[in-house]
Homo-oligomer: A and B are copies of this chain.
Amino acid sequence: MQVIKYPKRKDWNQILSRPENNVEEMAELVNQVFEQVKNDGDKALLKYTSLYDGAEIDSVEVSLEEIEASESLVSQELKNALTVAANNIEKYHSSQLTKPELIETSVGVSCWRKFTPIDKVGLYIPGGSAPLFSTVLMLGIPARIAGCKEVVLCTPPNKDGKINPVILYACKLVGVDRVFRIGGIQAIAAMAFGTETVPHVYKIFGPGNQYVTAAKQEVTKKGVAIDMPAGPSEVLVMADESSVPEFVASDLLSQAEHGADSQVILISWNETLIKDVAIEVEKQLKSLTRKEVASKALANSKLILVGKMEEALALSNLYGPEHLILSVKNEDDLLNGIQNAGSVFIGNYTPESAGDYASGTNHTLPTNGYAKSYSGVGLGSFMKSITFQKISEEGLRNLGPVIEVMATAEQLDAHCNAVSLRLNKIKAKS
């Protein structure tokens, strides 16, 4: 782990630079797969599942029986844990429901907006050695609260064509409508364009490898929305002498074990703490199953010593971390100054993994600096707002002339006429 002491402001950007992602180079492959799926539908899905996942499957949809059967294949302990997490996620996201509020902007001019569900949404859950069922909860629960009519989920099968039962159980728990055993670019294509079996959706959510990321980016050009652009996961910890090196180390490692490209940064104004954390990281690393992955991530990680708290805050805002952990004595001094971050974890007893799984907040967050312009997934990600307005005769009598002047200045006659004709009618009546 690289220790950087008192970096000069001119070097900050370089110190905080992230690896470039090469989503663009994959555009050609992505478009090839898109064309095949558009032309051959399910047949193309079976072909790519054989090619990329090494699984020979007959049908892409997971049967209701298979989903039902998952219940008996998951331990009661895990089912209980999922229920607790789901309840918290439901409680937090439900609090984001809003009611339309009518605003009378001027006399007789009433405006309001209403959030309505996105009718059809698609969730993507990556494959791999471990079943990422937590993401099923994080995406499926707000989709249900929003009231999305059709919630479908794609996830790649293992070599036997099966989906991990915990994934299926989580789908059942949150009420996903249909599950498809497909992954990669072909899954994104199927949800974007539809096939005989897979319905097309209006918005696609969820993490994935670089192929999935590139495919999601590409569908935005074809009328399908996505949750947000993706990048490697990352954490930035700000800590002072009040923090526990053991805890800080465990948080840094939580992030490092995600992938070799994970970004891990500690900023402190206490040199002893930095030393202690570095020692603890080495110690804890040894016992991790994923220690090789974590080691690679740590090789790019940075422990930054700064002169004072304000500098740490400025560095953090410049970076815009996905996860930000504040392990400091006077957190209130920092909280108001945080401008760019996905999710903030406060105090010694709030590990990032709480938010990853069970506290209730969403774990689908902007990374790669996108926290400067994107929000994490929330209930609103599954809805869109519609604006409404209703103007009375009196309202138009007052506001009409303003519209006429502006429309005329923009040389849009018909826009002006639409008001003038109405004003004439109102005058004729009175």
A-side residues, CB < 8 A to B, are: 23-24, 77-78, 80-82, 84-85, 87-88, 91-92, 95, 101, 103, 105-106, 109, 111, 113, 116-119, 129-134, 166, 202-203, 217, 220-221, 223-225, 229, 244, 246-247, 250-251, 253-254, 256-258, 284, 287-290, 294, 335, 338-362, 365-366, 368-376, 378, 380, 384-393, 395-396, 399, 401-403, 405-407, 409-419, 421-422, 425-426
Contacts and interface: CB of A to CB of B under 8 A. Distances in A.
Nearest to A164: B409
A426 to B, nearest CB: 8
Contact of A203 (B82, B131, B342, B373): B373
A121 B224 CA distance: 24
Contacts of A289: 411, 413
How many of these chains are in the complex? 2
Most chain B CB inside 10 Å of its own CB: which residue of A225, A346, A349: A349
Nearest to A166: B409
The 9 closest A-B pairs by CB, nearest first: A105-B360, A351-B418, A130-B411, A225-B373, A253-B414, A250-B418, A353-B415, A88-B105, A81-B405
Contacts of A130: 409-412
B356 A415 contact: yes
B225 A374 contact: yes
A368 B221 CA distance: 12
A362 B348 contact: no
Contact of A347 (B134, B287, B391): B391
Nearest to A411: B130
A385 B340 CA distance: 9
23 contacts: A24-B221, A77-B405, A82-B406, A84-B399, A87-B105, A88-B109, A88-B399, A109-B359, A113-B361, A116-B338, A117-B339, A119-B372, A131-B409, A166-B409, A217-B220, A250-B418, A288-B417, A289-B413, A346-B388, A349-B393, A353-B416, A361-B387, A372-B384
A130 B352 CA distance: 53
Contact of A390 (B350, B371, B388, B395): B350
Contact of A359 (B118, B256, B399): B399
B290 A357 contact: no
A406 B250 contact: no
A149 to B, nearest CB: 9
A132 B412 CA distance: 10
Contact of A396 (B116, B354, B399): B354
